[in-house]
Amino acid sequence: MSKPYLNPGLPTPVATELDQPYWDGLRAGKLMLQRCRACQRFQWGPEWICHRCLSFDYDYVEVPASGRIYSHQRVWHPVHPALKTQGPYVIVLVELPQADNVRLVGNLLGDPQQPLVIGAEVEGVFEQHADAEPPFALLQWRLA
Amino acid sequence: MSTRSLRGRTAVVGLGETTYYKRGQSPDAEMKLALQAIVRACEDAGISPREIDGFASFSNDRNDPSQLAAALGCKELKFSNMQWGGGGGGGSAAIGNAAAAVATGIADCVVVFRALAQGQFGRFGQGATSSTISGNFAHTVPYGLMSPAQMFAMKVNRFMHDHGVKQEAFRAIALACYHHAQSNPRAVMYGRPLDEATYDASRWITEPFHLYDCCLENDGAAAMILVSAERARDFPHPPCYVLASVGGSHYRAGAPVHNVPDYATSTFKTVAPRLWQMAGLKPDDVDVLQSYENFTGGVLMSIVEHGFVTPEECNDFFQFDNLVAPDGDLPLNTSGGNLAECYMHGLGLNIEAVRQIRGTSTAQVPRAEVSMVISGPMVTPVSSSIFGAEATL
């Protein structure tokens, strides 16, 4: 397994009733996002109700892990002890055209000082943290 | 003018502040700071704290009005109000809430207050310290997105991208704030001027924010007292009338995990038109502006969304000379603001706005009669308010 993008020691994500299928999906190498059963539209982050049609009946549906950079930031100042020796790292906000343009937060893999371009096409990389307690996976991105 | 308006119905008659400290350096507990600021505001208004019958605050202030009223021996508590929402978004709305209570007879003498002692309670600008995380934050924190600067940087980057805004526009805002702090002995950055070269050489916090684009973190407290316009002339200082105060946010501004449809905004697009409507004023009428700097990019976007300038004019408009008292077109953050005076979650900006009407600012704008405050850009809800001298009624 390749090394995770960020140093170990950040808080471990733990699923809730609302987002359990998402986290289970990442562990299995799939991107599962919330979609309303009534109007068939995606929304993210997960909500108890569809903000469009107000149905409480939602499902999780697999979505291709590909999108484009909506915005970005290169972080320099560490605000968590685990990141003190990290150096700069890149956070991207990725919109998914194949899921009603919902957006996901992730890291952009590669040189942390690479040029950052809004609109650039990216594809997902499932980053497994199998040894964590509890085990989890993150969805990272690289330029397509 | 609709009768459903706050315009001119209440006035600020008392201001109080503690000494402003670097974060964690207050010798006093947070509640003591709150009490000190309130007592000073009462002294400034020439009233006994026992006359206060209402309390309004914001940003989850930890000092409970019932305890404050008990400690101060207030005769009766009639209004106990908290504006929901974090950051400084409630700084103007808390004043609006107080004004609404006074204007409608719910209470007669309301104090708006904010107190912070981060040594006692922990810092804002640090990340999560727990070993696990759930809910919306689980979708950001494991990617290293956890501080306020990180929560807003992507809004500002997108705005810069969409409108061609340059870093120099943010630098001008920072320089103006530091410039004004040099004439304000209360300012934490008094005696510590900032120049272009120092700004340019300062480290990145997260792009596009240099160190000097980010607010301070401080300990202290501030308070202001509102009464009805009918009573306002009976106090020692010239009344400073509330001409408008509004708050809120646009459609799904609170959508989780950075999914608000209109993302690259300071959250004022739907708020600002209501402000101008209530005040019966337009941007040209404003003599002096205090605009909450959590980060300079939010100041720029706020000023755009209140209609002072178009996005495409920003690089020309945001020039140092244009933003400083007494002669700039739009004197900005004349006490030094959150960048260089003190970060009291923006209540200090409101106090400075009142000082401009009283004519007692350390960077006074001549004949200031319309004095405006923008509170808490990029969070939800945000708020803004306009104060006016007697002549504006």
DSSP A80-108: SGGGTTT--EEEEEEEEGGGTTEEEEEEB
Indicate whether A70 pLDDT > 60. Answer: yes
What pLDDT, in 10s, does the model give residues B227-258?
Answer: 999 999 999 999 999 999 999 999 999 999 99
Q: Which residue on chain A is closest to B139 by alpha carbon?
A: A105
Please indicate whether residue B190 is annotated as part of the active site.
no
pTM for the model: 0.96
Give the pLDDT band (50/70/90) at residue B345.
confident
Give me the residue from B126, B133, B136 closest to A45, CB to CB: B136
Listed range (A10-24, B1-15, B202-216) with the worst mean pLDDT: B1-15
* Whole-number pLDDT of residue B121: 77
| Mean pLDDT of all residues in B347-373 | 97
Rounded CA gap, B246 and B242, in Å? Answer: 11
Cβ–Cβ below 8 Å for B259 and A43: yes
Torsion angle in degrees (nearest 10) through CA of A13, A17, A23, A27: 110
Nearest CA distance, B327 vs chain A (angstrom) = 36
Residues in contact with A81: Cβ distance below 8 Å, sequence separation at least 6, in sequence order = A9
Residue-range domain boundaries for chain B: 10-121+215-392
Cβ–Cβ below 8 Å for B257 and A80: no
* Whole-number pLDDT of residue A2: 75
* Whole-number pLDDT of residue B276: 98
Q: Express the helix, strand and coil content of chain A in percent, nearest 5 each.
A: 10, 40, 50
* Whole-number pLDDT of residue B1: 47
Distance, C-alpha A127 to centroid of its chain: 10
Rounded CA gap, B165 and B301, in Å? Answer: 10
Give the pairing of strands A136-143 and B21-22.
unpaired
State which fold the B10-121+215-392 domain adopts: Peroxisomal Thiolase; Chain A, domain 1 (3.40.47)
Give the pLDDT band (50/70/90) at residue B174.
very high
Indicate whether B226 pLDDT > 80. Answer: yes
Indicate whether A1 pLDDT > 70. Answer: no
Rounded CA gap, B118 and B202, in Å? Answer: 25
* Whole-number pLDDT of residue B124: 72
Which residue bears the tokens 């209140």? B306
Cβ–Cβ below 8 Å for A11 and B203: no
Rounded CA gap, B104 and B101, in Å? Answer: 5
Rounded CA gap, B13 and B158, in Å? Answer: 42
**Which of B222, B174, B207 lies closest to B35, judged by CA?**
B222
Nearest CA distance, A15 vs chain B (angstrom) = 6
* Whole-number pLDDT of residue B108: 98
* Whole-number pLDDT of residue B2: 55
Q: Which residue on chain B is closest to A106 by alpha carbon?
A: B143
Cβ–Cβ below 8 Å for A10 and B144: yes
